[in-house]
Amino acid sequence: MHPTNPAHPTPRTVHLAVYDTLADWETGHATAWLARTGYEVRTVGLSTEPVRSMGGLRITPDLALEDLRPEDSALLLLPGADLWDAGDELAAFAGAARAFLDAGVPVAAICGATAGLAREGLLDDRAHTGAAPEYLAATGYRGAAHYADADAVTAGDLITAGPTEPVAFAREVLGRLGAFEGGTLDAWYRLFHHSDPAAYAELNA
């Protein structure tokens, strides 16, 4: 578990997994607002060689996956990518998610990353969501009874969402880490998901 002793505070670093074909838009709200509320966002790749996102962005990882330790992190973010369904290349990231969850450090997975966690067995006994029940069922996992038809789901230290819900995904991440709380978190979600002008006034009051 993360230490609660003030002499050993919870890390303020969030790690974003990056790999070829990652879906740029799925974690943008989460990482931007975590950075704006005092978290450092560091990227982690299979190696430190550059990767290229689905949108064509070239990203050079800050560190390699082999150097990532749960105790140095507040959260592991796993975006979707074509590679999640194209073989086992990203399986090591699902293994890292297991290590994080075993250490009591949160993991947030969206879109194809949920299928990676399903293959790793991490959704067999946890409430979760994803693109569709059929999509996760195709992995052969045993967690169908725990699937929730929701925009995003937080189950203890695990956050999941489908590909069309980057804002709801960010809401759960921001709430889990305490970046926004209560009425502020609600106002943030109403502004970015519902375009509620009253929410803008609340956030800037």
Q: What is the DSSP string of 12-71?
A: -EEEEE--TTB-GGGSHHHHHHHHHTTPEEEEEESSSS-EE-TTS-EE--SEEGGG--GG
Task: Give the pLDDT confidence of 111-155 residue by residue, as tens digits.
Answer: 999 999 999 999 999 999 999 999 999 999 999 999 999 999 999
Which positions ≥6 away from 194 have C-beta within 8 Å? none
Q: How confident is the model at residue 55 (pLDDT cuts 50, 70, 90)?
A: very high
Which positions ≥6 away from 134 have C-beta within 8 Å? none
Distance (Å, whole) CA 177 – CA 157? 10
Taking residue 18's Cβ as centre, other Cβ atoms within 10 Å add up to: 24
- For residue 52, the one-letter residue type is R
Q: How confident is the model at residue 181 (pLDDT cuts 50, 70, 90)?
A: confident
Delimit the domains of the chain by residue range. Answer: 13-179
Token representation of residue 201: 């006034």
Average pLDDT, rounded, for the chain = 94
* pTM assigned to the model: 0.93
Write b or e for each residue in 22-38: b if 16 or more Cβ atoms lie within 10 A of its Cβ, otherwise e.
bbebbbebbbebbeeee
User: Comparing C-alpha atoms, which of 120, 122, 109, 118 is closest to residue 162?
Assistant: 109
Whether 38 contacts 74, CB under 8 Å:
no
Q: In the predicted model, is pLDDT for residue 5 greater than 50? A: no
User: Comparing C-alpha atoms, which of 197, 23, 6 is closest to residue 110?
Assistant: 23
Topology adopted by domain 13-179: Rossmann fold (3.40.50)
Q: In the predicted model, is pLDDT for residue 11 greater than 90? A: no
What is residue 57's predicted lDDT score, i.e. its pLDDT? 96
CA–CA distances in Å: residue 188 to residues 67, 194, 198? 34, 10, 11
Q: Dihedral angle at the C-alpha atoms of 148, 164, 28, 205, nearest 10 degrees?
A: -80
Q: Which residues are catalytic?
A: 111
